[in-house]
Amino acid sequence: MTDLKNKVALITGSARGLGRAIAERFAGLGADIIINYSKDSFSANEAVVNIQALGVRVIAVQADISKPADIENLFAEAKKAFGKIDIVVANAGVELADVPVTDFTEEQFDRLFAINTKGTYFTIQCAAKNIEDNGRIINISSTSAASPFPGFAVYGGSKTAPNYLVEVLAKEIGYRGVTVNSIVPYAVANAGIFTGMDTHTPELKWLSDMNPMKRMATVEDVSNAAVFFASNLSSFVSGQHLIVNGGGSQ
């Protein structure tokens, strides 16, 4: 039921961190992969080498997700290489936490919304236009969008709008057998702003201590949820938000 052979998966922001973990997990289940990166070509090429070793086809495509024209080109290159797209994971995003509402600048606001909201919207829109019938669209959200927390107003706000988009699009294209869902993870170790950080630092220890399971989420926790949504296991699950937070409130 989790076999992804003969499927083609496009994952935005997948040169490293969580996106790369999802790409490698899908590849391990047989899917051909489109790696997307904005600037880090070295990590993208490294991801390509790792995925090729799993015996599937893979390409890397540069695209700035804040630019709809780049997104359209990304999908065009994917279809040119593989002829179709079965799975899309809208993972690309930027984080900025611990900034009170009164301290946020217009530049910071615009950057977060350009990628997390606008970029995700047009990625999912392009997915809806290009994905095969019975395909899978997966949005990577954040528990910041599910539970208000001081310092996260703009970041959480930028991740909230795509969740609503997921619910609407699920109703609009469900007749094609396409499912549209979100994964809503707790802070993920070795992903995003936490990439390369020691989990024993005071900041990350605090995140672990406040969780009922006394740890942060791992990329494996989230990629496992992604496999559920990408596979036939979730063929009648759509318009939903799966919270992966170890039972916590954030």
Q: Which residues are catalytic?
A: 141-142, 155, 159
Angle separating helix axes 219-230 and 17-28, nearest 10 degrees = 50
Residue 141: CB atoms within 10 A of its CB come to 26
Sign of the torsion formed by the C-alpha atoms of 67, 78, 194 and 229: positive
Q: Which amino acid is at 134?
A: N
Q: How far apart are CA 236 and CA 227, in angstroms?
A: 15
Q: Alpha-carbon distance 140 to 89, whole Å?
A: 7
Pairing mode of beta strands 241-244, 136-140: unpaired
Q: Are 188 and 222 within 8 A, CB to CB?
A: yes
CA distance 239 to 166: 6
Q: Compute CA distances 31 → 11, 12, 54, 224, whole Å.
A: 12, 15, 10, 15
DSSP labels, 64-81: -TT-HHHHHHHHHHHHHH
Strand order in the sheet with 8-11: 58-62, 32-37, 8-11, 87-90, 136-140, 179-185, 241-244
The answer to whether 89 and 12 have CB atoms below 8 angstroms apart is: yes
